[in-house]
């Protein structure tokens, strides 16, 4: 492999990692502001997507419009986008955690059922699975009943993981740049 390519790739990786390192610190230090920004960004994307669907609907042929839901999809996308932009806290606090919490509770119930199934098979490990499934169900309820705290904690955790990952990437890039000087 060409050493100039490797140096260029490592230099680019170093820049991207430094930017992601800054992002990780922002996620850790300002998790609430990070969540609001992410929701507003998703809202802008939904608005743009909605506009594209509306324009596509009006620029489509008459035959296509007969079977198209693009106008409805576009209007709903625009409305949802504005809701995300102007009410990000409501999405963070109510909608997203409820879906995630419910999914985790259902998974816990499935694991609970499985623990009873393997208990019937006289396996000694069923109690471990039983305890973990109960914990999973409890965590699901915690997410539902404390959604904002959960979202902030997850955002901070994501920032910590990103910080570690990008620190390792920076060390690796510096090593490669020094090695292929």
Per-position pLDDT tens, the chain of length 181 = 567 777 777 778 888 888 888 988 988 998 888 888 888 998 999 999 999 989 988 888 877 767 778 889 899 999 989 988 998 877 766 677 787 888 899 999 988 988 888 887 776 778 888 999 999 999 999 988 888 788 788 888 888 998 998 888 888 888 888 877 7
Other C-beta atoms lying within 10 Å of the C-beta of residue 47: 19
How far does Cα 145 stand from its chain's mean position?
Answer: 20
* Neighbouring residues of 157: CB distance < 8 A, sequence distance ≥ 6: none
φ, ψ (nearest 5 deg) of residue 123: -95, 135
Q: What DSSP designation does 94 have?
A: I
Report the C-alpha gap between 140 and 148 in whole angstroms. Answer: 14
The predicted structure's pLDDT at residue 84: 86
- pLDDT given at position 44: 95
* pLDDT for the residue 82: 94
Domain ranges of the chain: 3-179
pTM of the model: 0.60
| 3-class SS of residue 146 | coil
């Amino acid at each position: 492999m060409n050493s100039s390519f490797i140096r260029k790739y490592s230099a680019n990786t170093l820049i991207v990692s430094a930017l992601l390192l800054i992002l990780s610190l922002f996620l850790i230090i300002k998790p609430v502001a990070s969540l609001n920004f992410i929701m507003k960004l998703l809202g802008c994307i939904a608005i743009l997507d909605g506009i594209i669907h509306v324009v596509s609907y009006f620029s489509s042929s008459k035959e296509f419009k007969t079977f198209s839901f693009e106008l409805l999809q576009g209007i709903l996308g625009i409305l949802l986008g504005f809701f995300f932009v102007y009410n990000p806290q409501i999405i963070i606090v109510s909608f997203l955690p409820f879906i995630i919490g419910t999914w985790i509770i259902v998974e816990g119930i499935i694991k609970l059922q499985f623990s009873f199934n393997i208990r019937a098979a006289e396996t000694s490990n069923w109690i471990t699975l039983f305890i973990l499934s109960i914990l999973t169900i409890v965590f699901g309820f915690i997410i539902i009943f404390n959604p904002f705290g959960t979202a902030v904690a997850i955002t901070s955790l994501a920032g910590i993981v990103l910080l570690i990952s990008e620190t390792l990437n920076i060390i690796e890039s510096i090593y490669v740049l020094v090695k292929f000087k």
